[in-house]
Amino acid sequence: METREEIEHKRYTIAQDMLAIRSMRRGTITEQFLKAKSKGEQPPVLRGPYYVFSRREGQRTISERLTTPAQVDQTRQDIAEYKKFQDLCKEFEALTERLGVLERQDRPTPEKKGGSRLPPW
């Protein structure tokens, strides 16, 4: 069983890890290939891959073409940082829940007085 101090230290470390994230993006990268006919070629030729970053904004999907390898690399890193942020949030939530349980266990419960009370209405 972890102590309150160990849990608080882990929460602090997670908060520091969250603060260290400088850039993140929610979404995915997909590869697109387009069929294009070249002069003199009968069957269409696939061109690509073209990289597209997409994310949901309410009911809409927002897409953005990534035109340079640097944009693709940065966006992949940002997506990975977002996933890391989500994992850190889940871990922070679980630790905070355990901390709350520990604190409630440590707190003395008030003694009940005799008789039952009726609601004031």
**39-90 pLDDT, tens per residue?**
776 788 888 999 999 999 999 999 999 999 999 999 999 999 999 999 999 9
Q: What's the gap between Cα 112 and its chain centre?
A: 44
Q: Say if CB 48 and CB 65 are below 8 A apart.
A: no
Specify the pLDDT at position 42.
Answer: 77
CA 65 – CA 13 distance, rounded (Å): 36
pTM: 0.78
Q: Which two tokens stand for residue 43?
A: 């069957």
Q: Give the start-to-end residue ranges of the domains of the chain.
A: 4-105
